[in-house]
Structure 1
């Protein structure tokens, strides 16, 4: 958890604390969100009347994105909706809206009342959707133990109960994969840890592959899973993805933009046909 989420956890209701404890946490640097914001602005300028269509392929059932000023939680409900919660430094997590994956179905939640508030919620959801797309590149390159100060902060927020071993996992979108050693591949000796959902690309069609708009190749969505064994410890993660928009990440950003553009175009055509 980042500092803003830890504050919300400390002051939150039992249900909110439970959701945040189960969530996977992504700390988003300003440069990464600025890149996402620029891409979405370009798409909306090209397709100004397109409905808010989202893929919502989230890396975990409950995912928290946190920046320096705000945090958003995406929670997959049992009815197929993805609920979005929003928090700032002054206000804790508040339910904003609910989307259905791969559709334009949008259900605002209180306290959204005006058209402007609904548009802002849709705009935020577009950006979170693109963030999820970018971080679905499974190229983990660095892992380090969290410092003593952050471990103590997490311990205080959880009412004095010491957390399991926390690790910060960081990578640059589009970077090369660091090869694992033979020992690291021995899963029966790994501590219990969460493996986030992600896309896997194949050159040829497979039994469960699908085509993605604007992207070459055949893709399989690998679902999240807990791996390893608690006898070897419990490893909890928080993620700090980075982006290099003019270098290593350029190709991935271009693919994500092309895919989101195709999705916006399809949503606009569907909306136009519905009015005809």
Structure 2
């Protein structure tokens, strides 16, 4: 998820840091190495956590092996990784501060309560602090979803973790006055993942301005984005979707502005520049123009 958009953007050098594994002699997990091989990554360091970000930002020498400082660091992590990213902003580019996962589901009376319950649980499985928020204008559906959650949560493998996440203050059911009200609530929450289980789901999704990724209709659950859909799963959390996007090629690109005027073009606009520079009391700015347009070589 981090490598493919970088490659698509034309990044020529990619380094991967991944935690060492005790059961594999301090080397990275073989599955990670296999994925790196498929992607053509030939520089892999067995470093995890905040120390990995420091190594990539400032460089590292380990005997004959040298990790050169990188330009951009991407990827999710725990609270220590997020704080390291914050500390490194301005030293390197970072993609964002990914926090605990969250899901919001907008549904109306047409939704399948079992589908909604399963999807809320799927994200609660990640972490006791994961957020699972159900937004609906149907009290009847809310009751059915609660029943389905109770049944499914008690049978899933990580039931204790799921129970803690679903009962935490970050999760809950929000009853709204209308479908439009549900949309407004979702936009205010700005979730990492948003599912839309309504009639005319595409039309509802088109009204969403703030979300990391939107999963439209009853057969587009969030795990599709985790594993197979092709969307990126490094997404903004904690309400940052109001200003941030998921990881994409633009994360690894920048805009360089080019300015080129002819002598005649500069002469046409030169007096305006002189006027503005005089008003700012920066006369040498204007003199850089008049040296070209008025033959003033002083």
Quickly name the TM-score band, shorter chain normalised. Answer: under 0.3
| More strand per residue | 1
- Indicate the structure (1 or 2) with the bigger Cα radius of gyration: 2
Superposition TM-score, scaled by structure 2 size: 0.26
Structure holding more helix per residue: 2
